[in-house]
Every structure is written in structure tokens, then in C-alpha cells.
């Protein structure tokens, strides 16, 4: 993997952009938390209405960019050593994604909004996103040329994630048609359906990366061809297609959709959690396995899967969802998934790449990275727990018929923990990225480690 192949440079570009997005996203998220305590903080220059969508967009961009970077890097492995189909398409993909990044971030700073939740920027920008993704899809399928009958499960995951992102991104634009935007029930239902399935599409890319590196770490090729792996893949795809319905319990849509989504939501996260747990149990006694840093990072992700599993199943119960939907408990679920699960899985992928590019660095300074990850995860646990506490307090206040001012007074002590844990989380993340950036910069520039 040390030859100067174009997919390696593209991978480095995407991963560097991803890390910039993650650091910026948590910075604006921490700023937003600070604005709960200090409402006048940057109110005229960067209000909460701007810092929040900045945070959301940048964290989502981290997930997609890091996943794309990993896939580009792994292309020689998963294609049997073939050269990338079109280096030009790969660089066009990155160039367009960078262009969108600049336009969206600049637009939010200038107060230019549009679209719908998660996509709160002018709708025409989505056309650029779709074209860039089409370049990615062409390169992936033309390079890998998957034979699905014998393909390992991560090829299925990558293929499904790529295809469904394109479908759901297109579907998310249906609100521009009068048939949808003239009917609030239809509009909300379709929008949540698209966004919920879009989350499933990026989960497929992230989970596929995790399955691939687990195979490479352990050397066990059978795990990605087992009946259990395929069973959980199809269960995951079912979740992608249907579990969005638990977001629409409050919408007077079809009760069949709500019932189906409720039962499917009960399987959420059990999929990957079982796979990682079984894998770690099988290989934890192998020589050096416990000390191998990518495996350790996967262990953190596994812990977050089970924590978030309990929460996600609970808030999928209609009687509980009635009270929790729209509170900080929903935010806790989102943060646990994006930072605790997806981010830790993607960091495991990046650390694994480091192990291939610069193993002496991993051996020499891995202890520092473990400390940074420990700080990051402990602060995230406090952050996550605080959000759940804030949600419970808000539910109690609403049940007591408190006015908005009274609710905010009850929450004020919680905001302090929220803000402080966010600062520590940001510091731990910066520590991790300072360790990672030089490696990917060397891949980009072609310098030897």
C-alpha cells in the first residue's frame, strides 16, 4: 500500500477534510452549548441559529468524508489490486465536495439558509452533491466490479450505502414539488423518511469499513462470508428502509408504517453490536490483540453501541416517544450515534490506516492516543448523560405546566455540565487529530514516514 497510487492521495484529501470538519463541527457545537449559558455570546455575529446548522452539517460531512476517504484507500484491497477506474473522477468528487463545503459554511456565516433539516442550505447545492456522489459511485463499481454472489458482506454494505445515499438525497428534495409542500403531513413524513434512510446509508458505509478492518486485523476472511454476517446485513438494510417511522409517531400517517417501524426499531444497533462483540470475544486472547490500537478503538465503539442501543430502543416505544421526542433525549441519541459510534468506528479505520503507513509511530506514541481517546470518551459520557438529564427535567417541567422561562431556570445548572463536558470533549478530539493529521499529510504529499 506504499506505492504512490492516486486513490491514496484522494483518500488523504478526503480524510484531511473530514478531520477539519469534525474539529470545526465540535467547535461550533461547543459554541452552541455556551450560548445556552451566555445568550449574548456572539449573538450579532454568529447566533445559535447559525452555530447549530454549522455543527450539524460539519459533523455529517465528517462522517461521509471519512467514510469516502477510507473506501478510496481500501480500493486496491477490495478490488483485487486493480487500479482505480478514473483518477479524474475521484479528484472531481473531492473538488466538488470541497466546493460544497466552502459554499455551505460561508452561506451559514452570512445567514443564507434554505432546504430542510440536515440540508439547511439552498436547494440547488444538492445538485452538486448528487453529481459528486455519482462520480464516486461510478469509480467504486467500475473499479471493484463486485460479483455479489461471492462478495464479502462489506462489499454489500458499501454498495448499499452508496446507492441509498443517492436515492435518499434525491428523495429529500421532493419538498420543492407542490404535491408535497402544499400538504404538511405529506411533507413531514417524506422528509423524515428521506433523512432517516440517509442516516442508514452512511451507517452502511461506516459499518462496512468496520467489517473490513476487523477482517484485516484478525486475518479471518470467513467472518465476512458467514450466514450470520449476511443476516445482520439484511437486518441492517431493513432498518435503513423502514425504521425512520419511529420519528413520525406524532404525524397522522399510516398506522401500518408506524407499527412496522416500531418492531424494526427494536433491532436497531443490535446488528453491529453483536458482530463486534463476537469478533472481539473470538480474538481477544490472540497475541498482541489487546494492545493493537485499532482493536482498542473498536472496543470503545462497541461500548457506545450498547449504551445507545438501550436508549434508542426506549425512545422507539410510542408511549415513551410521545414524551421524549423533541427533547434533549433525542439529541443524546443522535450524539451517541454520531460521536460515540460512527466517529469511533471511523477513527478505528483511520488508526488502522496509520498502522499500515507508519507502524513505528503507532508503537512509539500509541499511549498518547489511548489517553486522548480515554479523555474523549469519558467527557462524551458526561455530555451524553447530561443531555438525557436535561430531557427528563424538561419532560417534568412540561408535565407541571411550567412556562418556557420556568423550564429554562430548571435546566440552567445542567447547561454548565453540558458546556464544560463539551470543552473537554473538544480538547480530547483535538489531541487525537493532532496525532493523525501528519500521517495523512505525508500520504498526500508522497513523503516517506
Overall residue count recorded for the chain in this entry: 449
Q: When comparing pLDDT for 444 and 292, which is higher?
A: 444
Beta bridge partners of 119: 116
pLDDT band at 272 (very low <50, low <70, confident <90, very high): low
**CB of 384 within 8 A of CB of 332?**
yes
Dump strand ranges (E) for 247-287. Answer: none
Instruction: Report pLDDT for 10.
Output: 97
- What span, in angstroms and rounded, lies between the C-alpha atoms of 261 and 211? 26
Q: What is the DSSP string of 344-397?
A: HHHHHHHHHHHHHH-HHHHHHHHHHHHHHHHHHHHHHHHHHHHHHHHHHHHHHH
pLDDT at 264: 77
DSSP tag of 245 = G
Q: What are the C-alpha distances in Å from 231 to residues 272, 275, 437? A: 11, 11, 37
In the predicted structure, residue 77 carries a pLDDT above the cut 60: yes
pLDDT of 94 over the 90 cut = yes
Give the whole-number percent of the chain exceeding pLDDT 70: 92
**Are 233 and 266 in contact, with CB atoms under 8 Å apart?**
no
Q: In this model, does residue 89 exceed pLDDT 90?
A: yes
Instruction: Answer whether residue 449 shows pLDDT above 60.
Output: no
Q: Are 249 and 322 in contact (CB under 8 A)?
A: yes
> Which whole number is the average pLDDT over 375-403?
89
CA-to-CA distance for 32 and 142, rounded, in angstroms?
43
Task: Return the higher-pLDDT residue of 426 and 231.
Answer: 426
* Residue 1's pLDDT band (cuts 50, 70, 90): very low
Looking at residues 341-352, what average pLDDT do you find?
93
Choice between 227 and 423, residue whose per-residue pLDDT is larger:
423
User: Is residue 134 predicted with pLDDT exceeding 50?
Assistant: yes
Looking at residue 273, what is its pLDDT? 66
Helix axes 184-218, 227-242, angle to 10 degrees: 160
Give me the pLDDT at residue 283, please: 57
List of residues 6+ apart from 144 with CB closer than 8 A: 75, 78, 79, 82, 155, 158
155-204: per-residue pLDDT in tens? 999 999 999 999 999 999 999 999 998 998 888 888 888 988 898 899 99
From 38-47, 241-250, 260-269, the region with the lowest mean pLDDT: 260-269
Cell of residue 85, nine digits: 477506474
Q: 216 Cβ partners below 8 Å, 6+ apart?
A: 77, 352
pLDDT of residue 373: 92
HSE of 318 in the Cβ direction (CA atoms, 13 Å)?
13
Interval 76-82 mean pLDDT: 92
Q: How far is CA 222 from the centre of its chain?
A: 27
- pLDDT (average), residues 376-396: 92
Residue spans of beta strands (DSSP E) within 134-278: none
Nearest CA to 93 among 72, 114, 74?
72
At 182 the pLDDT is: 92
Give the mean model confidence (pLDDT) for residues 403-418: 83
Closest to 336 in 3D by CA, of 300, 368, 369, 373: 300
What confidence score (pLDDT) does residue 269 get? 55
Mean pLDDT of 328-350: 89
pLDDT at 184 (0 to 100): 87
Distance of CA 198 to the CA centre of its chain: 11
Positive or negative, the CA dihedral 414, 381, 118, 54 is positive
Residues 70 and 207: beta-carbon distance below 8 Å: no
State how far the Cα of 304 lies from the Cα of 319, in Å rounded to an integer.
25
Judged by DSSP in three states, 119 sits in strand
| Per-residue confidence (pLDDT) for residue 263, from 0 to 100 | 75
Q: What is the pTM of this model?
A: 0.91
The pLDDT-based confidence of 271 (bands split at 50, 70, 90) is low
The span from the CA of 182 to the CA of 447, in Å, is 56
Q: Is the pLDDT of residue 277 over 80?
A: no
* pLDDT score of 287: 40
The yes-or-no verdict on residue 288 having pLDDT over 60 is no
Which percentage of the chain shows pLDDT scores above 90? 47
Q: What is the mean pLDDT of the chain?
A: 87
Residue 108 pLDDT:
92
Confidence of residue 279 (pLDDT cuts 50, 70, 90): low
Per the CB < 8 A criterion, the answer to whether 219 and 234 are in contact is no
Dihedral, CA of residue 432, residue 434, residue 439 and residue 442, to nearest 10: 160
Say if CB 373 and CB 427 are below 8 A apart: no
Task: Write the pLDDT tens digit of every residue in 15-66.
Answer: 999 999 999 999 999 998 888 888 887 878 888 888 889 999 999 999 999 9
DSSP annotation of 83 reads P
How does residue 229 score in pLDDT terms, banded at 50, 70 and 90? confident
What's the rounded mean pLDDT across residues 272-292? 60
Output the CA torsion 296→67→275→295 (10° steps): -10
Instruction: List Cα–Cα distances, 260 to 124, 229, 237, 266, 321, in angstroms.
Output: 34, 23, 14, 10, 15
Which of 116, 134, 135, 118 lies closest to 173, judged by CA? Answer: 116
Amino acid at each position: 500500500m506504499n506505492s504512490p497510487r492516486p486513490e491514496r492521495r484522494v483518500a488523504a484529501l478526503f480524510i484531511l477534510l473530514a478531520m477539519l470538519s469534525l474539529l470545526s463541527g465540535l467547535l461550533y457545537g461547543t459554541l452552541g452549548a455556551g450560548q445556552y449559558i451566555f445568550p449574548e455570546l456572539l449573538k450579532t455575529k454568529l447566533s445559535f441559529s447559525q452555530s447549530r446548522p454549522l455543527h450539524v452539517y460539519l459533523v455529517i460531512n465528517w462522517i461521509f468524508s471519512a467514510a469516502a476517504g477510507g473506501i478510496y484507500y481500501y480500493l486496491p484491497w477490495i478490488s483485487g489490486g486493480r487500479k482505480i477506474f478514473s483518477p479524474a473522477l475521484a479528484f472531481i468528487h473531492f473538488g466538488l465536495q470541497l466546493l460544497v463545503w466552502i459554499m455551505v459554511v460561508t452561506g451559514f456565516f452570512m445567514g443564507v439558509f434554505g432546504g430542510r433539516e440536515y440540508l439547511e442550505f439552498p436547494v440547488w447545492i444538492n445538485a452538486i452533491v448528487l453529481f459528486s456522489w455519482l462520480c464516486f459511485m461510478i469509480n467504486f463499481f467500475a473499479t471493484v466490479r463486485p460479483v455479489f454472489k461471492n462478495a464479502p458482506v462489506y462489499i454489500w454494505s458499501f454498495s448499499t450505502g452508496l446507492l441509498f445515499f443517492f436515492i435518499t438525497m434525491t428523495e429529500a428534495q421532493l419538498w420543492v414539488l407542490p404535491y408535497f409542500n402544499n400538504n404538511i403531513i405529506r411533507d413531514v413524513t417524506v422528509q423524515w423518511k428521506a433523512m432517516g434512510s440517509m442516516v442508514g446509508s452512511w451507517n452502511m458505509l461506516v459499518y462496512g469499513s468496520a467489517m473490513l478492518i476487523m477482517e484485516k486485523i484478525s486475518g479471518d476472511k470467513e467472518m465476512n462470508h458467514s450466514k450470520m454476517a449476511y443476516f445482520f446485513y439484511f437486518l441492517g438494510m431493513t432498518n435503513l428502509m423502514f425504521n425512520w417511522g419511529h420519528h413520525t409517531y406524532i404525524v397522522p400517517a399510516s398506522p401500518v408504517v408506524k407499527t412496522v417501524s416500531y418492531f424494526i426499531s427494536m433491532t436497531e444497533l443490535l446488528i453491529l453490536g453483536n458482530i463486534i462483540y463476537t469478533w472481539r470475544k473470538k480474538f481477544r486472547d490472540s497475541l498482541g490483540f489487546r494492545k493493537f490500537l485499532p482493536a482498542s478503538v473498536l472496543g470503545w465503539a462497541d461500548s457506545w453501541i450498547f449504551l445507545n442501543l438501550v436508549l434508542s430502543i426506549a425512545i422507539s416505544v410510542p408511549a415513551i416517544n410521545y414524551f421524549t421526542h423533541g427533547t434533549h433525549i433525542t439529541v443524546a441519541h443522535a450524539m451517541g450515534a454520531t460521536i460515540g459510534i460512527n466517529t469511533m468506528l471511523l477513527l478505528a479505520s483511520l488508526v488502522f490506516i496509520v498502522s499500515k503507513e507508519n507502524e513505528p509511530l503507532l508503537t512509539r506514541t500509541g499511549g498518547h492516543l489511548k489517553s486522548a481517546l480515554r479523555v474523549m470518551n469519558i467527557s462524551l459520557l458526561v455530555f451524553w448523560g447530561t443531555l438525557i438529564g436535561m430531557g427528563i427535567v424538561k419532560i417534568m417541567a412540561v408535565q407541571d405546566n411550567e412556562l418556557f422561562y420556568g423550564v429554562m431556570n430548571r435546566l440552567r445548572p445542567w447547561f454548565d455540565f453540558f458546556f464544560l463536558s463539551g470543552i473537554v470533549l473538544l480538547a480530547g478530539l483535538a489531541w487525537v487529530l493532532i496525532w493523525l493529521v501528519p500521517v495523512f499529510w505525508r500520504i498526500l504529499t508522497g513523503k516517506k514516514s
